[in-house]
Amino acid sequence: DDRRVLNGIFWVLRSGAPWRDLPDSYGPPTTCYNRFGIWDRIMDAGRDAAVQMIEPRFNRIPEARDLSRRPRFQRSSSHSTNA
């Protein structure tokens, strides 16, 4: 059952437990682990494709390239004092 396996993946990610400690109610740990690996590769490919689609658009806007060079201002906290 795909939903059971997906819930198993979420359980491991949320709990931080090793795959071998996955409760039996979520299915075999190897199945959850393998499906997570596939899902992770798909998400990486999707992210890379999105970056490739967006990146040329940013190169046309001069401000987007210079974002890291803009000065950053810190707001002073109401708790700070100059004593």
Residue scoring higher pLDDT (79 or 15): 15
* Cβ burial, residue 19 (10 Å; 0-12/13-18/19+): middle
What pLDDT was estimated at residue 22? 95
Q: Taking a C-beta distance cutoff of 8 angstroms, is the pair 19, 12 a contact?
A: yes
pLDDT digits (tens, 9 = 90+) for 8-25: 999 999 999 999 999 999
| DSSP letter for each residue of 3-39 | HHHHHHHHHHHHH---GGG--GGG--HHHHHHHHHHH
Q: Distance between CA 7 and CA 46 in Å, rounded?
A: 22
Q: Taking a C-beta distance cutoff of 8 angstroms, is the pair 26, 5 a contact?
A: yes
The verdict on pTM exceeding 0.75 is no
Calculate mean pLDDT across residues 62-69: 52
